[in-house]
Amino acid sequence: QVQLVESGGGLVKPGGSLRLSCAASGFTFSDYYMSWIRQAPGKGLEWVSKISSLSTYTKYADSVKGRFTISRDNAKNSLFLQINSLRAEDTAVYYCAREYNAVVDGASFYGMDVWGQGTTVTVSS
């Protein structure tokens, strides 16, 4: 069964740090690009970061650049997000997701086809 399971969320004070994890199973993790997406309470989806399958490149949303670091361990089928200098506006459910890339009749299609259930990060004093 293809599955992503996040962990590591919690209550942290402003300025603090957390390391989120995402455990993958049921597919060849090292074949896929992965992303982190977050959703503040009652708000929409916000992409946070993306990492290539072999960690050769990473991308970040401007709102987290310099504070968040995405990484992965393909040997352990795991994705990580190190979040530092936390602010109240970082309070959200954090999801990991797998990149979907299909080719039909020579045309490529992209999206995120597998999502975890999310882990909640609350930044409050």
Binding site for other proteins (CB under 8 A): 35, 37, 44-47, 50, 59, 61, 95, 99-100, 102, 104, 107-113, 115-118
Q: Judged by CB, which is closer to other proteins: 23, or 45?
A: 45
In 8-125, the DSSP E strands lie at 10-12, 18-25, 34-39, 45-51, 58-60, 68-73, 78-83, 92-104, 107-115, 119-123
Q: Judged by CB, which is closer to other proteins: 27, or 115?
A: 115
Residue 95: CB minimum distance to other proteins, A = 6
> Could you give the CA distance from residue 117 to residue 123 in angstroms, rounded to a whole number?
20
Residue 103: CB minimum distance to other proteins, A = 10
> Could you give the CA distance from residue 6 to residue 115 in angstroms, rounded to a whole number?
10
Residue 27: CB minimum distance to other proteins, A = 14
Q: Judged by CB, which is closer to other proteins: 13, or 109?
A: 109
Residue 113: CB minimum distance to other proteins, A = 5
Q: What is the largest CA-CA distance in the chain?
A: 54
Q: Judged by CB, which is closer to other proteins: 17, or 101?
A: 101
Question: Is the distance from CB of 20 to CB of 94 less than 8 angstroms?
Answer: yes
